[in-house]
Amino acid sequence: MKTFGREFTVREKVLLLVMVIIMLGALYYLMVFEPVTSEIHQAELAKQSLQDELLIAESRAAQIVNMRNEMEASEQAGRSFTYMPSYNASNIEIDYLHDVLETNADDYLINFNQITRSGNQIRRHFSLSFTARSYDVAKKIISELEASEIRCLIGDISVSSSEESVIDGYVGISCVATFYETMYDAVEDSELPEDSAQSSQAADDTGE
């Protein structure tokens, strides 16, 4: 190889070869190795993050299930069948709900669905959802509703939370419940439904 009219010496050729190898190595490092290594590292970080999120989600789900089971077990164990007021006790029942929820819940929604009648028993069904600042407060609300002097049975309890720790943070509770009343000493009004027991008996008699 010649340059400016003379050939490269062996030493110069070796140096040029070494420089070319170094340049190729640098190009490989900058254009291939480093980007690929960076992508692998980012993928590993993303994988670890997903695993962490999955563990947190599984932990929260387990906490929610345990909380719901504990509430239902507490409800069953502490259920006391108190008196049934005469129909129509809706104002007393609504006032009691507001007293308990306004004292303990951050917000709440009550929706009375329907009234059913079977013989002398009246069932006033409603759905309830509320937010409490902790699981203990939510459990207290459920316990107070169950401990009402007016017979109130609660079921289908659902627990939710946006916090990482369900136990320590705010929780949302949804459930269905029923107040019980009696027709003894009742004053009938336009809201009183038909007696399903009599309707069923009438249907049986007609069928005969």
Mean pLDDT, the chain cut into blocks of 10 residues (208 residues total): 63 81 81 78 76 66 64 55 81 94 95 90 94 90 87 87 72 92 85 76 52
In a domain, residue 201? The reply is: no
In a domain, residue 8? The reply is: yes
Q: Tell me the two tokens of residue 170.
A: 């705010």
DSSP class of residue 26 equals H
pLDDT of residue 95: 94
pLDDT of residue 177: 93
In a domain, residue 205? The reply is: no
DSSP letters along 131-193, please?
EESSHHHHHHHHHHHHT-SS-EEEEEEEEE-SSSSTTTS-EEEEEEEEEEEESTT----TTPP
In a domain, residue 105? The reply is: yes
- The count of structural domains within the chain is 1
In a domain, residue 39? The reply is: yes
CA 177 to chain centre: 19
**CATH code at position 82:** 3.30.70.60
pLDDT of residue 93: 94
DSSP class of residue 4 equals T
pLDDT of residue 30: 77
pTM: 0.60
pLDDT of residue 178: 93
pLDDT of residue 102: 94
Q: What is the C-alpha separation between 104 and 142, in angstroms, rounded? A: 11
pLDDT of residue 28: 79
Range of the domain at 36: 1-196
pLDDT of residue 52: 67
In a domain, residue 207? The reply is: no
DSSP letters along 72-98, please?
HHHHHHT------PBS--HHHHHHHHH
Residues with Cβ within 8 Å of residue 111, at least 6 apart in sequence: 126, 127, 128
pLDDT of residue 115: 92
In a domain, residue 206? The reply is: no
In a domain, residue 112? The reply is: yes
